[in-house]
Structure 1
Amino acid sequence: MELAPGWETALRWGVVLLVAYLVGSVPVGYSVARWLGRLDIRRYGSGNVGATNVTRVMGARAGALVLAGDVAKGAVAAWVGLRLLGVQGAVAGGLLAVIGHSWPVFLRFSGGKGVATGLGAVAVISVPVAVAMVAIWAGVVLATRYVSLGSIISASTAPVWLWLAFRDWPVVAGGVLMVLIIAWRHQSNVRRLLSGSEHRSY
């Protein structure tokens, strides 16, 4: 039995959103720390499961593995959305992956900050946009030595780049929501930046 076009579209959206959230929820940082160091990364450093904290606690090798895994989560989620629903589906998939990474069902809804996962999604949506964001992040980090500041500023430019690339308001709206989530997850970093107590990268 064939589904009516409306039902087929609704089913595709449901699949994209569910798969993207579950992929985003995969606890890469937690798993790498358990695998390489037999420790619960949530009890060390800042307590975050992202690549930055894993790098500070366990070194560059572990951090690189977490970074690659978190980027891959966003890329896979966006790719599923792109295949099933086009660019808008890719943005929705990336957004749900960021939500899953930030509030993962597998870690009782306590996760990371979504930057690497968001970047992976953007790379599938538009490689030039991803390159521009990485360049901005690198420039800010080199100038200030604050990874968190580079992440916040780089992420905040995503809606502008997406608008220039697609001129599609739903796509831009998805980018704005990603930025808001990432900014929300960086609240403690913002407070430390304002007080001058934020940890520098080098």
Structure 2
Amino acid sequence: MMDWLLVPLAYLTGSVSSAIIVCKMMGLADPRENGSGNPGATNVMRIGGKKAAAITLAGDALKGLLPVLLAKALGVDSLVLSLVVFAAFIGHLYPIFFEFKGGKGVATSLGVTLGVAWLLGLVVAGTWFVVYKLGKISSLAALVAATLTPLYAWLIVGDVNLTVTFTVISLILLWRHKSNIQRLLAGQES
């Protein structure tokens, strides 16, 4: 029974908005009201530069990583671990502390993949890096990495619950990036 309490804890951890906190602490504009309006690392870079973006990225990844590592340390079963992964991710997208208006979830999804299996996280990050280096478009790199994550999860972890969870996360990431996809198809994505 105690294991199930990790699910709401993961959601609350995911609900902590690194972008908003970093911008406040660094005296920057609110990312929800400036740039793209997205409280994520890419928008924070537009508003405050690389240092603020790097801190935001690390914070968003950690809030995915830490609940998953805690769940694994407590030896939860695959179903509970999958729900912890999903709850941390959804917390970032729909944070209870910030009127349910969160980011797109790329860094937090990386954090949960790293928590599930370091190799999985490294392969996903490596995919993002290679696609970014080839195309110089961050959103394209995120979309390709997200699309391949369920396959990687199946090949590396081999767990049905986690593969289904990463499939749902990937679909949500694609949906959250629909405007980026439209700009990519129109050749207008920066």
TM-score by length of 1: 0.89
Return the offset for 1:88: 4.0
Aligned to 1:188: 179
Bigger radius of gyration among the two = 1
Aligned residue identity for 1:141:
Y
Moved more, 76-85 or 138-147: 76-85
Aligned to 1:39: 29
State yes or no: 1:71 paired with 2:84.
no
Query: Is residue 74–residue 98 contact of structure 1 (8 Å, CA) maintained in 2?
Result: yes
Q: Does the alignment pair 1:153 with 2:144?
A: yes
Q: Which of 109, 112, 127 pairs up with 1:118? A: 109
Whole-Å separation in 1 of the counterparts to 2:133 and 2:79: 33
Q: CA deviation at 1:46?
A: 0.7
The aligned amino acid for 2:137 is: Y
| Alpha-carbon contact 2:143-2:174 (below 8 Å) kept | yes
RMSD: 1.3
Tell me if 1:23 matches 2:13. yes
| Separation of aligned partners in 1, 2:77 and 2:117 | 12
Q: For 1:59, which of 24, 42, 49 is the aligned residue?
A: 49
TM-score, structure 2 normalization: 0.94
- Quick check: 2:139–2:180 contact (8 Å CA) kept in 1? yes
Q: Do residues 96 (structure 1) and 87 (structure 2) align?
A: yes
**Aligned sequence identity (%):** 36
Query: What residue identity is the alignment partner of 2:174?
Result: A
Structure 2: distance between partners of 1:175 and 1:186: 16
Q: Quote the residue 1:130 is aligned against.
A: 121
Where structure 1 has 5 or more consecutive residues not aligned to the other structure, the ranges are 1-7
Unaligned runs of 5+ in 2: none
User: Residue type of the partner of 2:156?
Assistant: A
Alignment partners' CA distance in 2, 1:79 and 1:87: 13
How many angstroms apart in 2 are the aligned matches of 1:90 and 1:173?
A: 12
